[in-house]
Amino acid sequence: MGKKKFKFPNTATLLLIVVLVMGILTYIIPAGQFDREINEATGREGVIAGSFHYIEQAPVSPAKLLEAPYWGFLDVVDIIAIVFIIGGSMGVIINSGAIHAGIGAIARKTGNRSDIIFVILMLLFSAASTFLGMAEELIVFVPLLVSIALSLGYDKITAVGVLLLGIYGAGGFAIIGPFNTMIAQKVAGVELLSGMGLRTIGCVGAVAISIHHVLSYAHKEKKKRQEAGAVKYDKKEQALKLDEDKIKKEVVDLQSYKMTAARSITLVILIAGISLMAVGVYKWGWWFEHMSAIFFAMAIVVGLITNRGSFDETVKIFLENAATMAQAAILLALSRAIIFVISEGQIMDTIVYAISIPLSHLNGILAAWGIYISQIIVNFFVPSSTGQAMVMMPILTPLADLSDLSRQVAVHAFTAADYFGNMIIPTHPTTLACLAIAGISYDKWFKFVLPMFLKWSAWTFIVLAIGVVTDWAF
């Protein structure tokens, strides 16, 4: 018998392994912590530089380890709630056939140049990210993008790539970045929104790289499918499906989808709902509860129109599609379980402190690159942009001063690592939620995004080097 081929564990198994490993590390890594205080500039709690000290070991017991998924669930319950509502609501909207009729109409007008559609969408997501700091809020578009991609003959990875590479490509060098750049600048004592010139160059370059990567992959995958003679999907992934058997037929017959009055009304409702949500988030500070209300309302109205006034049928479709989001909820809970174990074991600050030590021996360009690399590691343990800024910038700021490195460049290195690293770590809730909703395994995603991450990193090194050499801070 031949050797059994190694099979990469599924995402849930991978996360459980990481939870276990972190639990073991709480017995090995010394517990420690930084002293913390309220930062006057931000009003948030941050660490005090140079205050790290070791404390009594706090290993996580096996019983506590088993509790970790529960506490992880509670930590992301707001995201999980909207994931279920999105899944159900978008299922009702997609079931109407309006989206596919709209796609068919666009495809006819653009001569089936689907790349134009993807470029426009990526630019919109990039703008929402770099100017408004939107990320979690855009999870709502995953079912829609999956439906669009499959209908045009592409795969699910293309769909999620359009969203996430648009968000994180622009967010790494966010021109405004209220939740990463501005917070980091406040903590570092840097003038708000300064350094915009260099960030604009970095942002435009990163987005251009993102678009090229997605389109190159999409064209290759579509060609493979065309050469195979039919669009094929992994049957195992149909546990989280947007009725792929139905979509297969629509791929073949997309151009024949007619725009009826009901479908036209549905598209108007969808556009109006999304527009209202965007305005609400930007002007009135709306969050998940408001977004869920809009999607729920759209589902009810569209369902009643599509199903000829049958509320029962609408609810049935909603529940069927909401149920497909259960795996997404579990993966999100497990990702936060990792953070729970690290925090309970009091080893997070120790890890951060250990990572910061080598940086004190670097200067200039190497210091900037070192900050970027170190933050990729920290990102695994502290996936929140704001949380990471409050933990790391008080440490990185004096290190930058000692290394003859502009604080501005230190901020750029930090934000780039924060956003670009979100694409490859298995602990970031936004990335995991998108993958789970689309039914994409982590290993498949990693194969797609790793080359992208390396391209972004090479571009980041160039931008940071320019910042160091020119001391560009305007």
Residue 101 burial by Cβ neighbours in a 10 Å radius (0-12, 13-18, 19+): buried
Q: What are phi and psi of 43, to 5 degrees?
A: 75, 10
Provide the angle, in degrees to the nearest 10, between the axes of the packed helices 429-438 and 77-95. Answer: 30
Asked if residue 292 lies in contact with residue 81, where contact means CB atoms within 8 angstroms, the answer is yes
Eight-class DSSP state of 173: T
- Give residue 472's pLDDT: 61
What sign results for the dihedral spanned by CA atoms 101, 106, 108, 112?
Answer: negative
Eight-class DSSP state of 324: T
- Give residue 242's pLDDT: 41
Asked if residue 86 lies in contact with residue 123, where contact means CB atoms within 8 angstroms, the answer is no
Structural domain contains residue 339: yes
Range of the domain at 402: 11-48+78-470
Asked if residue 467 lies in contact with residue 197, where contact means CB atoms within 8 angstroms, the answer is no
User: How many whole angstroms separate alpha carbon 457 and alpha carbon 423?
Assistant: 12
User: How many whole angstroms separate alpha carbon 18 and alpha carbon 436?
Assistant: 18
User: How many whole angstroms separate alpha carbon 174 and alpha carbon 11?
Assistant: 30
Reading the block at residue 267, the tokens are 């598209």
Structural domain contains residue 6: no
User: How many whole angstroms separate alpha carbon 52 and alpha carbon 12?
Assistant: 34
Which residues lie closer than 8 Å to 40 by C-beta, 6 or more apart?
Answer: none
Structural domain contains residue 440: yes
Eight-class DSSP state of 347: -
Eight-class DSSP state of 36: E
* pLDDT tens digits, 281-306: 777 878 778 888 988 999 999 999 98
User: How many whole angstroms separate alpha carbon 365 and alpha carbon 107?
Assistant: 47
Structural domain contains residue 72: no
b/e burial code for range 433-447 (CB count within 10 A of at least 16 → b): bbbbbbbbbbebbee
- Give residue 441's pLDDT: 87
Q: Which helix (H) or strand (E) holds 33?
A: strand 32-33
Structural domain contains residue 209: yes
- Give residue 233's pLDDT: 36
Find the DSSP H helices in 8-61: 11-28
Domains identified in the chain, total number: 1
Mean pLDDT, 10 residues at a time, the chain of 474 residues: 64 87 95 87 79 94 94 87 84 80 71 78 89 77 83 88 95 87 87 88 96 94 66 39 43 57 87 82 79 89 87 90 82 86 92 88 91 91 80 87 87 94 86 86 92 97 94 58
Structural domain contains residue 60: no
- Give residue 244's pLDDT: 46
Asked if residue 427 lies in contact with residue 335, where contact means CB atoms within 8 angstroms, the answer is yes
Eight-class DSSP state of 180: T
User: How many whole angstroms separate alpha carbon 105 and alpha carbon 277?
Assistant: 25
Structural domain contains residue 85: yes
Structural domain contains residue 115: yes
- Give residue 462's pLDDT: 96
- Give residue 295's pLDDT: 87
- Give residue 91's pLDDT: 83
pTM recorded for the entire structure: 0.77
Reading the block at residue 229, the tokens are 């003679």
